[in-house]
Amino acid sequence: MSATGAAKALTPPDIAARKGKMPLVCLTAYTTPIAKLVDDHCDVVLVGDSVGMVLHGLPSTVGVTLEMMIMHGKAVRRGLEKAVMVVDMPFGSYEEGPEQAFRNAARLMAETGCSAIKLEGGESIAGTIRFLAMRGVPVIGHVGLTPQAVNAFGGYRVQGRDEDAEHILRDAVTVSEAGAFAVVLEKIPETLARQITQEVAIPTIGIGASPACDGQILVVDDILGLFGTFRPKFVKRYAELAGTAEAAIATYANEVRERRFPAVEHVFGDVPRPVNGGEAA
């Protein structure tokens, strides 16, 4: 805590220094209110391109644009004081090469105020990670199941169960050596995630990976139960808010139809007594 009593804002080097120490707590956020809720409890808040599926109803993250990430990044920035804010680079914004990646990363950082960006891939984008890191852009890598490549994978299947395991290990090592300060391991076998965590010098952040990872991340809407019946194996529900919200909406609808809302305390001035089957006198 600072002299004013406010928590000191974390930085990417603070996150990198947590390797092998207290596990990192990470969640997604896409709006100012959610950012305010998670800030006190998280070390890293990710404005994930999962926003396309969670809030915009897209079938995958492939359709997310840089403008969408900037809009949601600005909203999240207004709600954070302590956690490191990371914004996903969307599909098509960095694959062309290091120069394209730098232009778009610089724009993301300048317009959202984020502290770092995250991009997907391993050996294929090592040069891009190195290019960004050398120019002052802190990078989190992402290997294993990389959702932007869902069409190439043929679905959201666990990666690294067979001969792909060695490739994913090389990806993680390469991302670390290229200059990323952390790496997300998504939907890979527990033993592989544990091995990667032991072998790379930077913190690993698991999602469907291993409790041995240096941190964990989930989509906040998933842990709050806002998706109804959607329940990936790697998600633990800490609340079931979809049912609570639907019940509240149903109650509101009934009260409106029965003219019980708004009541006296919700309007300005006296409410005439209802007569003739509910019509006001």
Residues of the binding site: 49-50, 88, 118, 120
d(CA 51, CA 29): 8
Q: Which parts of 96-203 are beta strand (E)? A: 116-118, 139-144, 182-186
Which residues sit in the known binding site for 3-methyl-2-oxobutanoate? 49-50, 88, 118
SS3 191: helix
d(CA 45, CA 27): 5
The crossing angle, in degrees rounded to 10, of helices 126-133 and 164-178 is 20
**Site of tokens 């919200």:** 245
What tokens were used for 159?
Answer: 């990666």
Question: How would you label 61-100 residue by residue, b for 16+ Cβ within 10 Å and e otherwise?
Answer: bbebebebbbebbbbbbebbeebbbbbbbbbebbbeebee
d(CA 220, CA 13): 24
| Dihedral of alpha carbons 189, 162, 88, 50, sign | negative
Catalytic residue among 95, 163, 177, 186: 186
Q: How many CB atoms lie within 10 A of CB 60?
A: 16
199 catalytically annotated: no
Spacing of C-alpha 262 from chain mean position:
38
Spacing of C-alpha 84 from chain mean position:
12
Which residues sit in the known binding site for Mg(2+)? 49, 88, 120
Where in the sequence numbering do the catalytic residues fall? 186
